[in-house]
């Protein structure tokens, strides 16, 4: 399990890797219309809601150790680092696999490639 510690609003926040089922629940709670399916997230709808209130409501869902007051007392750079660390801890494996998976798919699509 991966984890990292990041400073946020004068607190040390430990970001721990979530299980796939936990990530699915977080997505469903953040974006109820998605029902946990990342492909069904409506980014346009999210941008319509953009504002500080969105941060106060959504960040504690992602990182339960954070409160609305923590968000109010944080710098934007801390917010950026917090989200980057969450993505890094939870999606580092996917980021590493995307390239090799794409190469494998492309190799399989080449004319004359062996198929089973």
Q: Could you read off the pLDDT of 46-93 as tens digits, one per residue?
A: 666 677 888 888 889 889 999 999 999 999 999 999 989 998 898 887
Quick one: pLDDT at residue 45?
67
Quick one: pLDDT at residue 113?
55
- CA 101/CA 114 separation, integer angstroms: 17
Which range among 20-34, 64-78, 101-115 has the greatest average pLDDT?
64-78
Which residues partner with 4 through β-bridges?
15
Residue 112, both tokens: 């004359």
Q: Phi, psi (5° rounding) for residue 72?
A: -65, -30
Residue bearing the bigger pLDDT, 8 or 38: 8
- Regarding pTM above 0.75, the answer is no
């Amino acid at each position: 399990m991966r984890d990292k510690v990041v400073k946020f609003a004068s607190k040390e926040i430990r970001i721990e890797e979530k299980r796939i089922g936990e990530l699915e629940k977080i997505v469903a709670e953040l974006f109820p219309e998605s029902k946990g399916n990342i492909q069904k997230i409506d980014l346009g709808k999210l941008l319509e809601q953009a504002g500080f209130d969105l941060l106060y409501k959504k960040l504690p869902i992602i990182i339960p150790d954070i409160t609305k007051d923590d968000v109010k007392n944080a710098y934007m750079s801390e917010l950026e680092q917090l989200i980057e660390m969450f993505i890094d801890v939870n999606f580092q494996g996917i980021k590493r696999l995307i390239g090799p998976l794409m190469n494998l798919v492309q190799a399989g699509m080449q004319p004359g490639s062996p198929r089973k």
